[in-house]
A = this chain, B = another copy of it.
Amino acid sequence: MQFPLYATPLPLGMISNKFDEHGLKAHKKYFRPVEKRKIYKIGEFEIEWIHITHSIIDASSLAITTEAGTIIHTGDFKIDHTPIDGFVTDLNRFAHYGEKGVLCLMSDSTNSYKEGITRSESTVGKTFDSIFAKAKGRVIMSTFSSNIHRVYQAIDYGLKYGRKVSVIGRSMERNLFTAIDLGYIQLDKSIFIDPHEVNKYPDKDVLIVTTGSQGETMSALYRMATDEHRHVKIKPTDQIIISAKAIPGNEGSVSKVLNFLLKSGANVAYQDFSEIHVSGHAAQEEQKLILRLVKPRFFLPVHGEYNHISKHKETAIQCGIPERNIVLMSDGDQIEVCAKYMKKIKTIKTGKVFIDNQINEQIADDVVIDRQKLADSGLVMLVIQIDKSEHKLISKPKIISYGLVPDRDDKAFSIEMEGVIDQFIVNAKAELLENARALENEVRQVVRKHIYRQMKKYPTIVPTIFMM
């Protein structure tokens, strides 16, 4: 069963690029472009896409009108009164629904710890201007590939200072040209040069915009920093701008790429300027504005860890939402909401699964557990041939180990194991030496104990016994 995918043109274009990339072209027939300020009847619901500002152009909130009432989902947002494209948040539609009555609001909690408001995307431009004005060599600006307005601003200042522009990074290039093709931004394509043309121009005439602001090791910036990029190597005269903040968890990798760039002698502007990057998410005053406009009966803070939605709850209480009308959800929770109540009704299982990146399939749990155990303590194989009439070893056991003892060619470990097995077989009861399965179990136990005594390790032990 296939479900249609509804979106406004730019998001649909960006999703379409991803579908192309992953060989899902055939599924694009289920795409349904929508327009803002129109109401679409979809199944039981009437849905309006409402324009809202964010670090991605053409973002939407949703007003979903159901039999029980209207639900507003903000999506990722900030309230930018001076966005680059002039398309401000459609506050009036939020006000319209607020006035009619909203059953439930779901709102972005990412920055719920941040007081005040998030600065406008346009404030970054001034910082870019002052850096571009001083740059003597190339300027290399790195940001998220989805932040087209940031890329656009960098290009705008590049043009102001007479630079040609090379966009390096497949996802960034696709997003930018999709936005140009769809008319979201106006740029003459003649200003762009290919990565292999960068070295044909004087350094002071080149602007490179690229990905890798999170220190991703496969990104163009990382490869430039580590001298692995085909066309661009960092020079001491380069002015690099990292127009982003490390997403929690990425601090280490950002620091690493910074170290490489600085070791190459380049000038790097990162967190030196407070306005080199602004967030795409609402701070507390913006969260309050939406709460006050929408005046929902029930409130579900979304998009954030428990501590973020919990902080957003405090803000909502300050804005008059009764505490009992707010639910903090965990992943997998199912919520039921109607005029009388909102409550958790069920939790479905969620969590991480391992996907094999070669074949794009889930890896079975027991395979993961086996590999974990092998990684922790290695493995020992014991292949033993028993003469079951004579009740003795036919030949020396074969001992093979992985990930347990250093230098696998060293015979000491094998000789020790042979001794342990030999002694066990000599002393074993005759009937045990006629039952391969039972003997395997016994040998496993004996070897296991011996290795634990010697090495404080429990490797996977695999005896294979042939009775002959």
Binding site for B on A (CB under 8 A): 113, 248-249, 251-252, 255, 258-259, 262-263, 268, 270-272, 305-307, 310, 356, 358-359, 364, 366-368, 370-376, 378-379, 381, 383, 385, 398, 400, 402-408, 455-457, 460, 462, 464, 466
CA distance A379 to B378 in the complex (A): 11
CA distance A452 to B303 in the complex (A): 41
Give the residues in chain B near A405, CB-CB below 8 Å: 364, 367
CA distance A368 to B407 in the complex (A): 11
Q: Are B252 and A406 in contact (CB under 8 A)?
A: no
> With A258-B307, A306-B263, A456-B359 known to touch, is A378 a contact of B370 (CB < 8 Å)?
yes
Q: Are B375 and A372 in contact (CB under 8 A)?
A: yes
CA distance A364 to B455 in the complex (A): 14
CA distance A21 to B307 in the complex (A): 36
Q: Are A364 and B310 in contact (CB under 8 A)?
A: no
CA distance A398 to B466 in the complex (A): 10
Instruction: List 18 other contacts, CB 8 Å, given A358-B457, A379-B402, A383-B466.
Output: A248-B252, A249-B251, A251-B251, A263-B306, A356-B456, A356-B457, A358-B456, A367-B403, A367-B404, A368-B403, A371-B375, A371-B378, A374-B374, A379-B379, A381-B381, A381-B462, A383-B464, A400-B462
Task: Say how far A276's CB is from chain B's closest CB, in angstroms.
Answer: 12
Give the residues in chain B near A366, CB-CB below 8 Å: 406-408
> With A248-B251, A364-B406 known to touch, is A259 a contact of B374 (CB < 8 Å)?
no
Q: Are A402 and B374 in contact (CB under 8 A)?
A: yes
Smallest CB gap from A265: residue in B: B310
Task: Say how far A252's CB is from chain B's closest CB, in angstroms.
Answer: 5
CA distance A364 to B406 in the complex (A): 6
Task: Say how far A257's CB is from chain B's closest CB, in angstroms.
Answer: 9
Give the residues in chain B near A403, CB-CB below 8 Å: 367-368, 370-371, 374
Task: Say how far A41's CB is from chain B's closest CB, in angstroms.
Answer: 39
Give the residues in chain B near A373, CB-CB below 8 Å: 402
Give the residues in chain B near A358, CB-CB below 8 Å: 455-457
Smallest CB gap from A455: residue in B: B359
Give the residue of B259, B378, B456, B466 whose beta carbon is less than 8 angstroms from that of A385.
B466
A-B contact pairs, 26 of them (CB 8 A): A113-B272, A248-B251, A248-B255, A249-B252, A251-B251, A255-B305, A259-B306, A268-B307, A358-B457, A367-B378, A367-B404, A367-B406, A370-B403, A371-B376, A371-B378, A371-B402, A371-B403, A374-B374, A374-B375, A375-B375, A379-B379, A381-B381, A381-B462, A383-B383, A400-B464, A466-B466
